[in-house]
A = this chain, B = another copy of it.
Amino acid sequence: MEQASVPTADPITVEVVDLMARLVGLFHREYEEAAAARSLTGAQAKVLALLRRGPMPMRHIAQTLSCEPSNVTGIVDRLEGRGFVTRESDPQDRRVKLVVATDTGLSASSELRESLNFAREPLAALKASERAQLRDLLRRMLDSSARG
């Protein structure tokens, strides 16, 4: 909804968006596969990946994933049931539960990250200088949308 002011995109933008869509499809499949190989689902893997930077309140996880908090409850339940994370209540605010990755959880997540060959093969088609170029372009796109 609400896109009255969208100018018809130029042809290059349209094509880039299309290419992105294909790339997203590829990446997504690879990610799911890599997760499944460690008997994790995609959602579980995503949460574990978030926790690599440290404990995080449920609420924050939900916001990052753009989903309802009640959904996170279930995902964390299953991760907890398998020993990948624990819930600890925040001493600062006893309403919030901090989700903490266990060692098992962290190493599973690291393994998965390492194994993400995605684009390792596709990216091999590019020269080092081109990969750097790609990195810079992507960085700028993401920086701009992080601010937007």
Write the residues of chain A forming the contact surface with B, with a CB cutoff of 8 angstroms: 1, 3, 6, 9-10, 12-13, 15-17, 19-24, 26-29, 31, 37, 66, 114-126, 128, 130-135, 137-145, 148
Please state if A121 and B134 are interface contacts (CB–CB under 8 Å): no
Interface class of chain A by DSSP: helix
Closest Cβ of chain B to A30, distance in Å, is 10
A22: B residues at CB distance < 8 A = 142
New contact pairs (14) apart from A29-B66, A126-B137, A134-B137, CB-CB < 8 Å: A3-B117, A6-B115, A16-B131, A17-B118, A20-B27, A20-B118, A20-B119, A20-B138, A23-B142, A24-B24, A24-B27, A121-B144, A122-B144, A133-B137
Q: Tell me the nearest residue of chain B to A135, going by C-beta.
A: B16
Q: Tell me the nearest residue of chain B to A16, going by C-beta.
A: B135
Closest Cβ of chain B to A67, distance in Å, is 9
Closest Cβ of chain B to A9, distance in Å, is 6
Closest Cβ of chain B to A143, distance in Å, is 7
A27: B residues at CB distance < 8 A = 20-21, 24
Please state if A123 and B138 are interface contacts (CB–CB under 8 Å): no
Known: A117-B3, A119-B141, A126-B141. A23 touches B20 (CB 8 A): yes
